[in-house]
């Protein structure tokens, strides 16, 4: 039987799009600053920048709450059409509850609830977080279910939804450096999941590496993901989802407070 070995790195969250099944200890707090850049679309010049200032607090040893201030800027310029620029502040929250702790169970299991909104959209996500240490590797799987409502130019609200599978594999190179690889598979629907109507299904894949440095001053996490030419279904052109970015670059700065 293989032994479960915990990596030497102090921070067990070396991912940008995948969350481990762990929370802060009761009374501990973190401040996080996220900077994300998404770029490239099929048949369009596209850039999007997002800044997130996040505060995390351990309510109990099983429950963690977070509040995030979001600023989102994006510009899309389809070929032969006028450019469209959007800039919006927003607010997001998160609650993570540990069902089975990673250090006391064969598999760590947690549940997360994530509501978010800005002036043009509303959304809520329910996530199942799974975590397992094996042969020195940290394995994390997230299954995300999300419903969204977006306001169009005529102020009408349209509903959509998605299911996302995110898998992360990480290995501590030493006590400071951790390398990781993340793979995401996103399914988009033109109706709410609760409606049971799964029309215009699109499947999209993203893959990329992440590197993390952990020291006394804080934690720096940098990662990049590329859309793989494996998209299928509605809006898929040449293996890519036409209205999804080709590249994602993310930076996270974390410090205990």
CA–CA separation, 207 and 16 (whole Å): 12
pLDDT for 167 equals: 98
Question: Residue 127: what pLDDT?
Answer: 98
**Measured CA distances, 18 to 80, 139, 141 (Å):** 37, 10, 7
Cα(212)–Cα(87) distance, rounded to whole angstroms? 30
Instruction: Name, in order, each residue with C-beta under 8 angstroms of 101's C-beta and a sequence gap of 6 or more.
Output: 62, 108
Tokens of 144: 């995300």
Helix (H) or strand (E) segment spanning residue 147 = strand 137-151
Cα–Cα dist 213/198, whole Å:
41
Quote the CA–CA distance of 74 and 94 in Å, as a whole number. Answer: 24
User: pLDDT tens, position by position, for the chain (257 residues)?
Assistant: 333 444 433 357 999 999 999 999 999 999 999 999 999 988 888 999 999 999 999 999 999 999 999 999 999 888 878 888 888 899 999 999 999 999 888 999 999 999 999 988 999 999 999 999 999 999 999 999 999 999 887 888 888 899 999 999 999 999 999 999 999 999 988 888 877 666 667 899 999 999 999 999 999 999 999 999 999 987 888 899 988 999 999 999 999 99
Domain boundaries, the chain: 29-256
pLDDT of residue 67: 98
What pLDDT, on the 0 to 100 scale, is given for residue 231?
94
For residues 2 and 168, the answer to whether their CB atoms sit within 8 Å is: no
Structure token digits, residue 140: 């994390």
3-state secondary structure of 193: helix
Residue of 67, 66, 35 lying closest to 49 (CA atoms): 35
Q: Tell me, what's the pLDDT at 6?
A: 42
Please give the model's pTM, rounded to 2 decimal places.
Answer: 0.91
In this structure, is the dihedral angle defined by the CA atoms of residues 161, 252, 26 and 181, taken in order, positive or negative? positive
CA–CA separation, 158 vs 175, rounded Å?
48
- pLDDT for residue 181: 98
pLDDT at 79: 80
Spelled out in words, what is the top-level CATH class assigned to the domain 29-256?
Answer: mainly beta
């Amino acid at each position: 039987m293989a032994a479960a070995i915990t990596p030497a790195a102090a921070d067990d969250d070396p991912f940008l799009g995948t969350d481990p099944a762990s929370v802060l200890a009761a009374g501990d707090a973190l401040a996080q600053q996220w900077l994300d850049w998404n770029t490239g679309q099929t048949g369009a010049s596209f850039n999007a920048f997002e800044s997130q200032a996040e505060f995390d607090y351990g309510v109990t040893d099983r429950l963690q709450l977070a509040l995030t201030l979001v600023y989102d800027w994006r510009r899309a310029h389809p070929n032969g059409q006028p450019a469209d620029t959007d800039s919006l502040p927003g607010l997001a929250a998160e609650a993570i509850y540990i069902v089975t702790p990673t250090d006391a169970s064969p598999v760590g299991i947690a549940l997360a609830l994530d509501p978010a909104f800005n002036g043009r959209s509303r959304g809520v996500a329910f996530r199942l977080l799974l975590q397992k240490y094996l042969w020195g590797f940290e394995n994390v799987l997230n299954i995300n279910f999300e419903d969204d409502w977006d306001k169009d130019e005529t102020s009408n609200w349209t509903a959509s939804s998605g299911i996302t599978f995110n898998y992360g594999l990480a290995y501590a190179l030493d006590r400071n450096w951790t390398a990781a690889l993340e793979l995401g598979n996103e399914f988009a629907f033109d109706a709410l999941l609760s409606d049971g109507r799964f029309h215009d299904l699109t499947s999209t894949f993203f893959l990329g590496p992440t590197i993390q440095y952990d020291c006394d001053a804080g934690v720096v996490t940098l990662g990049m993901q590329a859309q793989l030419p494996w998209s299928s279904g509605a809006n898929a052109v040449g293996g890519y989802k036409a209205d999804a970015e080709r590249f994602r670059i993310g930076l996270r700065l974390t410090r205990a407070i």
